[in-house]
Structure 1
């Protein structure tokens, strides 16, 4: 099966989507399938991947508020590439111009809309939460759900990346045909990678001794990641216990976060770690993983932390909350620094050995990306079979 993913959210400097897509290329190649990504770029170029698959960058304008990403506008270059590739499946994940370009292409492939996020949860509910209730915000933005419905009517199947997103969309009457929970590259992550020397070195970077508590956060510096909530919570908890926080990432809010941290020596920002083995070792060496975003629909990074045997401190919303078993996790009210600080202190008051053993047991149960890809391909094969091998006209 050849799948072409027209993906405006893919960027070499991006976060979860890039991680997911890069690994998906590798996994599908190992299964005998091919994934080719059409992504916005500053120039036209092709990046072949070992073992099969590729990233085709197509020159496109950049996103106004985030230079890491681009926007497709001209349909002709995409149609030319799709015609040449002649895929069995075309995936799309953006509800804007790219969706109409993909659904308007006249090739034989089935069209799949793969939902990575919910724009109502990620933006209006975050922006207007101080001013209105969630139901009122949903009513005010019901026009978006109606628009999305018209867009999705042009696709053969609508897939979400997990039950949290399926539930959110279904409650608002948005079509979902299949739920395909994501998975992680479990082979990289293991509790056995814990390195006490590395842990002590990271605490030293935070100006703390080895008997202090090390919290780790990983993710883009972007408002939706809610890092100021985490920083404020760690600062508050730090008045009652020795706590250091290391955040790996970069992005549009880096300068803002640096100002927010100020001269606090116990909270450090470090650049992203792209080497998977190194990242896995850091994750396993932290005492606890802390997450700020409560609107992510799956939460790849918390799942990787859990696969590393690291207990979780996470918000009560989104896909991350679904894996937060009380045996190895503490949950707080999203966007609430006081609640987050309380969750940190509750975790610190627990027996660290017992909590970590529970996380170590849970590590073996984290869903793998091989399982995700196998289920996704099986779903596409079923849709193709039901279409008689020929896509219905849009």
Structure 2
């Protein structure tokens, strides 16, 4: 198949979606498919990523709230690009404007909406959840629900990466919802990458000895990620046990987060680690991953932590919670720093204290799903849909 991904969330400086797209461009051709990503950009360009894989950027405005990203401003340009590509299958990977643009394209190819975002959890529930019930919030944001319901009827699949989001969309009247979990990069993350010397250096960066616990926080510095909550939880837990927190990320909230750290030497904020092999060593060398966002559709970093053999401390809502299953970590009441602190202390107290115990039952088994498995299942669903269309024709 020739699969065209209309990906408004793609940016070379992006986070989880960029990682997902890179994996799709690598794995898709290995499975016999041609992958084309249509993304907004500063210029009209074609970036070849190897046989059967390329990124086509369409000159588009920058998104005003986060200028690393753009948005498709004109249906004419996007529809012309889809006509020129003549895909067998089309994906829209944003529930916002591009979902409507792909739904309204006049082409005959089947199409799917991949839910890379959960806007109500990221914004409306987070902003208003302490005041109103979710049912009340949903009524106030009925225009978004109607947008999803209306356009979902024009898609063959609405793909979610976690069961909770699938349930909420189905209960909200969205059509054709399927759950296809994502995964981690095969062969990249492993408990075998644990490096005691690297762990000691990271703790030293936090002004702490090797006997302290090392927590890792990874992700965009954006308000929906709730990094101030994570910092507050670590500070609370640190009153009972020495803990260092190393954060890897960049984004529009950097200054706000640095102000929240307030010079605490035990909490350090560093730029993202782009070297995947070194990042895998950092991940495996931590004692746990801590995450604050309840609006994750999958939470790639939590999956990578699970594959690295370290426990996760994550909210009990959204995609991140799935990665704590089977004894692989702790969940806490979302948006509650005190509950997060208690979960952190549970994990810190149970952690292995020596290298000889590094494979003890305190460490979760590395059973994370791979991205190869995800794309095999996803593309098989697309092929079955295309076959049904052809048989009907």
Alignment of 1:1-394 (within 5 A): 1-325=1-325, 327-352=327-352, 357-358=360-361, 362-363=365-366, 365-388=367-390
Contact 1:294–1:320 at 8 Å: present in 2 too? yes
Three-state SS of the structure 2 residue aligned to 1:27 is: helix
Q: 2: distance between equivalents of 1:7 and 1:31?
A: 21
- CA separation of 1:327/1:148 partners in 2, compared to 1, >3 Å: closer, same or farther? closer
Q: Aligned-pair distance for 1:357?
A: 3.4
Q: Aligned-pair distance for 1:120?
A: 1.5
The superposition leaves residues 347-386 of structure 1 with CA deviations (integer Å, 9 ceiling, x where unpaired) of 22225267863475621x2111111111111111111112
The superposition leaves residues 23-44 of structure 1 with CA deviations (integer Å, 9 ceiling, x where unpaired) of 1110111111111111111111
Q: 2: distance between equivalents of 1:355 and 1:172?
A: 45
What 5-or-longer segments of structure 1 have no aligned partner?
Answer: none
Q: 1: distance between equivalents of 2:179 and 2:328?
A: 26
Q: 1: distance between equivalents of 2:358 and 2:130?
A: 35
Contact 1:158–1:175 at 8 Å: present in 2 too? yes
Q: Aligned-pair distance for 1:194?
A: 0.4
Q: TM-score, normalised by structure 2?
A: 0.95
What 5-or-longer segments of structure 2 have no aligned partner?
Answer: none
Report which stretch shifted further, 146-155 or 61-70: 146-155
Contact 2:40–2:57 at 8 Å: present in 1 too? yes
Q: 1: distance between equivalents of 2:136 and 2:286?
A: 40
- CA separation of 1:218/1:136 partners in 2, compared to 1, >3 Å: closer, same or farther? same
In angstroms, what is the RMSD of aligned CA positions?
1.8
- CA separation of 1:357/1:139 partners in 2, compared to 1, >3 Å: closer, same or farther? farther
Q: 1: distance between equivalents of 2:361 and 2:299?
A: 20
- CA separation of 1:264/1:356 partners in 2, compared to 1, >3 Å: closer, same or farther? farther
Q: 1: distance between equivalents of 2:306 and 2:106?
A: 44
Q: Aligned-pair distance for 1:105?
A: 2.2
Three-state SS of the structure 2 residue aligned to 1:91 is: strand
Contact 2:100–2:151 at 8 Å: present in 1 too? yes
Q: 2: distance between equivalents of 1:359 and 1:179?
A: 30
Contact 2:39–2:55 at 8 Å: present in 1 too? yes
The superposition leaves residues 45-77 of structure 1 with CA deviations (integer Å, 9 ceiling, x where unpaired) of 121113431111111011111111111011222
Q: 2: distance between equivalents of 1:373 and 1:359?
A: 31
Three-state SS of the structure 1 residue aligned to 2:339 is: helix
Three-state SS of the structure 2 residue aligned to 1:334 is: coil
Q: Aligned-pair distance for 1:99?
A: 2.2
Three-state SS of the structure 2 residue aligned to 1:35 is: strand
Contact 1:110–1:156 at 8 Å: present in 2 too? yes
Q: 2: distance between equivalents of 1:360 and 1:213?
A: 14
Contact 2:8–2:71 at 8 Å: present in 1 too? yes
Contact 2:351–2:363 at 8 Å: present in 1 too? no
The superposition leaves residues 88-118 of structure 1 with CA deviations (integer Å, 9 ceiling, x where unpaired) of 0110022333223222222232121111222
Contact 2:153–2:176 at 8 Å: present in 1 too? no
Name the count of aligned residue pairs.
Answer: 390
Contact 1:321–1:331 at 8 Å: present in 2 too? yes
Q: 1: distance between equivalents of 2:199 and 2:152?
A: 47
Q: 2: distance between equivalents of 1:219 and 1:51?
A: 31
Q: Aligned-pair distance for 1:326?
A: 6.1
Q: Aligned-pair distance for 1:197?
A: 0.6
